[in-house]
Amino acid sequence: MKPNVLIVDDDQAFLRLIQKDLEGFSESFNVLTAESGNAALDLLKKTYVSFVISDLRMPGMDGFELLSGILKKYPDIPVYMMTSYDKPKTKEVVIQSGAAGYLKKPFTAIELFGEITKTLNKKAEGGSLHNVTLETFLQLIEMEQQTSTLRVVDKKGGRGGVLFFRNGELMNARIGDQQGKDAAYAILSWSNVSLSIEHDCVFQEKLIDGDLQAILLDAMRAKDELAEEEAERAEEEDGANEILLDSPFDESTPPGREIPAKKPETAAKVRPSKKEVEPENLSPIDTIRAKIKNSIGERNGIIDIYHDQSWDAFIDQASNIGNAFNCGALNALYVNRDNEQQFVIVPGEETTAISISSDAPWDRILGVLG
C-alpha cells in the first residue's frame, strides 16, 4: 500500500494546482486534500496517513491548532507547515511547536517531493518487511529490547496501524484515532501484513497494561475464535439450501405403506472417526495431509502437497536467522509470494511444499505441523 500524503489549505485553487503537480510522483505516494483543519482531522480518523503538510493561516482552525490536534492524537505522523507570510521568527516558532519541517510559499513540486520522500525514508529507516508473521517479529523486538515504531499495513483489508515499542515493551498502539490495547488487538488480528520500521518511539509513558506475551496470546485466541465463527457461518450458509426430511419416501411407494427400515451398516463399513489411529505405512506427504485434515477439517485450504528441493537454500537462510535469535529448530515456514501463491514449507530429509489458497488458515496449519 502506497503512503498517503495529506495537504491542508483553504485555498482550493492552490490544492488543485499542487495535486496536479504531484501527479508525476503517483508511484511513490497518494495525495489527499482537505480544505480546513476540521476536515483534515475527520479524514485522519478513517484514513491511514503518513505525512501532513498544512497552511498556517486558515479560517476557523488554523495551522497551529491542527498541529496541536495531530500531535495529541497522531504523534507519529510528521507535520510540515507552509505559509506565504514568512517572518524572521516564523520558522523557529513552527519548529518549536512540534512541526517536522517548514516550507515558504511559493515552492515547486520538486521541493515538496524532496521533503516528503526525505521524511518517509526516515520513517522507514529500519527497513521494510513484507508477508511476515507479525507475532514472531514482535517477540524478537521484545527479546532484543528494541525501541521502534512499527507501521503495519493489512494487505488484505487495506488498513494501517502503528505499534510503539520502547526497550522491548509495547507502549501504545494506534489505528486512526483509536489508541491503546483495543487498537493493539485489532492490529494483531491481521494475518497478511507488511511492516516499515523506524528506530524511534514518541511515547515515553506506557499506555498499555500487561506484557506483550499476554497480549499476543489474547489476540491469537480471539483470531482463532473469529476464524471458527467464520467457518461455522460458511457451513451454515452452505447448508441453508438443503431440505431435510424426517421420513423420506420413494415416490413409487403406495400411500399408506410403510417403508422398510434401512439396515444398519456392518462394522466393516463404518467410517473411522478422527480420533482413531491413522493407518500405518502412510507416506510422509499423506501423513502431513492426514494431520491437517484431522485437526482442521476438509476446509483447510490445501491445494497440493509435494516434495520440492528448490526451497532448500531458502530453508537454510531462515534457519540461520532463527539461530541468530535463538528461536530453536525450524519446524515449518509460511511463505506468501503474492495473493495467488502461498506455501507452507516443511524441512526434512526431503523438503515438502504445501500449496495453500489465499484464505487458508495458515497459522493453524503451522500449529499442526509445529
Q: Please give the pLDDT value at position 131.
A: 57
Q: Which of 130, 74, 144, 105 has the alpha carbon at shortest distance from 11?
A: 105
DSSP assignment letter at 63: H
Burial zone of 181 (CB within 10 Å; 0-12 exposed, 13-18 middle, 19+ buried): middle
Q: Which of 45, 61, 71 has the alpha carbon at shortest distance from 8?
A: 61
Q: What is the rounded distance in angstroms from the CA atom of residue 89 to the CA atom of residue 167? A: 37
- In the numeric block, which cell numbers belong to residue 18? 499542487
Question: How long, in residues, is the chain?
Answer: 370
- Long-range contacts of 154-163, Cβ-Cβ distance < 8 Å, separation of 24 or more: 154/190, 154/192, 154/193, 155/1, 155/131, 155/192, 155/193, 155/194, 156/190, 156/191, 156/192, 157/190, 158/1, 159/48, 159/190, 160/1, 160/48, 161/48, 161/186, 161/187, 162/76, 163/138, 163/187
- In the numeric block, which cell numbers belong to residue 335? 511463505
Beta-carbon contacts of residue 284 (< 8 Å; ≥ 6 apart):
348, 350, 352
Q: What is the rounded distance in angstroms from the CA atom of residue 193 to the CA atom of residue 157? A: 10
- In the numeric block, which cell numbers belong to residue 34? 482537505
pLDDT tens digit at each of 370 positions of the chain = 788 999 999 999 999 999 999 988 888 899 999 999 999 999 999 999 999 999 999 999 999 999 999 999 999 999 999 999 888 889 999 999 999 999 999 899 999 999 999 888 877 666 666 656 788 788 888 888 989 999 998 887 778 999 999 999 999 999 998 999 999 988 988 877 888 888 889 999 999 988 888 888 888 777 777 667 767 776 666 655 544 444 444 444 444 444 444 444 444 444 444 444 444 567 888 889 888 888 888 888 888 899 988 888 888 877 777 676 666 788 888 887 655 678 899 998 889 999 888 778 888 888 888 7
What are the structural domains of the chain?
Answer: 4-123 (3.40.50.2300), 128-213 (no CATH), 273-369 (3.30.450)
Q: What is the rounded distance in angstroms from the CA atom of residue 318 to the CA atom of residue 347? A: 11
Q: What is the rounded distance in angstroms from the CA atom of residue 77 to the CA atom of residue 101? A: 12
The structure's pTM equals 0.56
Q: Which helix (H) or strand (E) holds 170?
A: strand 169-175
- In the numeric block, which cell numbers belong to residue 350? 526431503
Three-state DSSP class for residue 322: helix
DSSP assignment letter at 177: T
Q: With the CA atoms of 314, 320, 323 and 329 taken in that order, what torsion angle do they form, in degrees rounded to the nearest 10?
A: 30
Q: What is the rounded distance in angstroms from the CA atom of residue 258 to the CA atom of residue 261? A: 9
